Amino acid sequence: MRLVIFGPPGVGKGTQASRIAERFGIAHISTGDTLRQTIRSGSPLGVELRGYLDKGLLAPDSLVADIIERRLIEPDCRPGFILDGFPRTIGQAHTLDALLKKRRLLLDATFFLDADDDVIVRRISGRRVCPHCGRSYHVEFAPPRVTGICDADGEDLEQRPDDQPGSVRKRLQVYTEETAPLREYFANEGLLVPIDGTRSVDEVANAIVAHIERYIVGSAH
Ligand code: AMP
C-alpha cells in the first residue's frame, strides 16, 4: 500500500500518518522529521538546513529527493509506506513519479487534509514537540500526562522554531503557492481523497481508514 498525505502546515498530517502506518504495518516517511534529525545532529548540512526550516522555507529539492530515494529502498517500505510532507511541490511530484516508475510501483491514494487558516494557527500555536524523540503534543487537544514533559522519555517539550508566528505566516504562503497546486495534480491522476481536517483526530483517522479498507486493502497491487 503506497500513500501520500498532504495539506496545510499544522493540519495533523504527522499525527495521522503515524496512526495509519502503525495500523496497516507500513513505513511512515516524514521528510520534516528526517530534516529535523539532521539539524539535531549538528552536522554542517544540519546547520545549512536550519536556515531553511526555521524561516519556514522549503529545503532544496535535490536534498529532499535524495532522502526519499534512499528511504524507499529500506526493508520496512516493502509492505508499503505513507509519505508525509513529500511531495510538496509539483516538481517533487514529478520526482516521486519517476522514482516509483523505476520500481514499477503505483500510488494507491493521496489524502488531502484541509482546514481553514484560523484552525491551523490555533493548532500550530499549541503544538509542542519532544526534541529527543520527536513526539508531538498539543497543549489543548493532546496534552502530555505532565505539563511540558514528554510521556515517552521525560524530556522537556519545546515549540518548533518554525511554529513561531513569523515562520507560520511564511509556511502558509509557501503552502498556498507551492503545495496547494498538488490538489489538482493528484485529482487529474485520479488519486485525490479529500478529508475534512477540522474534525477530531479520531474522526479524521476513521475517515482515512474507511477509505483504505474500502478501496485499497485486498486490491491487486
Ligand atoms: P513538516 O514537518 O512536514 O511541517 O516540515 C517542516 C519543514 O521541513 C518545512 O517547512 C520545510 O522547511 C521542510 N520540508 C519538509 N518536507 C519538505 C519537502 N518535501 N521539500 C522541501 N522542504 C521540506
pLDDT of residue 218: 66
Active site includes 127?
yes
What is the number of alpha carbons within 13 Å of residue 101 lying toward its C-beta? Answer: 6
Ligand 1 pocket test, pick from 53, 67, 95 with the greatest ligand atom count within 8 Å of Cβ, gives 53
Helix (H) or strand (E) holding 4, with range, is strand 2-6
The whole-angstrom separation of Cα 11 and Cα 103 is: 31
CA nearest ligand 1 atom 14, residue: 32
pLDDT of residue 166: 86
Asked if residue 172 lies in contact with residue 8, where contact means CB atoms within 8 angstroms, the answer is yes
- Residue-wise pLDDT for 30-50, tens only, equals 999 999 999 989 999 999 999
pLDDT of residue 134: 84
Extract the C-alpha cell encoding 110: 493521496
pLDDT of residue 165: 86
The whole-angstrom separation of Cα 151 and Cα 153 is: 6
The whole-angstrom separation of Cα 1 and Cα 25 is: 10
Asked if residue 115 lies in contact with residue 198, where contact means CB atoms within 8 angstroms, the answer is yes
Active site includes 13?
yes
pLDDT of residue 87: 98
87 CA: nearest ligand 1 atom: 19
Omega before residue 87 within 30° of 0, cis: yes
pTM of this prediction exceeds 0.75: yes
- Cα of 51 vs centre of ligand 1, distance in Å, is 12
- Cα of 175 vs centre of ligand 1, distance in Å, is 10
- Cα of 220 vs centre of ligand 1, distance in Å, is 32
| Tens-binned pLDDT, residue by residue, of the chain (221 aa) | 999 999 999 999 999 999 999 999 999 999 999 999 999 899 999 999 999 999 999 999 999 999 999 999 999 999 999 999 999 999 999 999 999 999 999 999 999 999 998 899 889 999 999 988 888 999 998 999 999 999 999 999 999 999 988 889 899 999 999 999 999 999 999 999 999 999 999 999 999 999 999 999 866 44
Active site includes 19?
no
pLDDT of residue 174: 96
Say which of 13, 50, 123, 128 is annotated catalytic.
13
- Residue-wise pLDDT for 108-130, tens only, equals 999 999 999 889 988 999 999 99
Strand partners, 28: 82
Say which of 50, 71, 88, 123 is annotated catalytic.
88
Beta carbon of 204 within 6 Å of any ligand 1 atom: no
Reduce the DSSP state of residue 97 to 3 states and report it.
helix
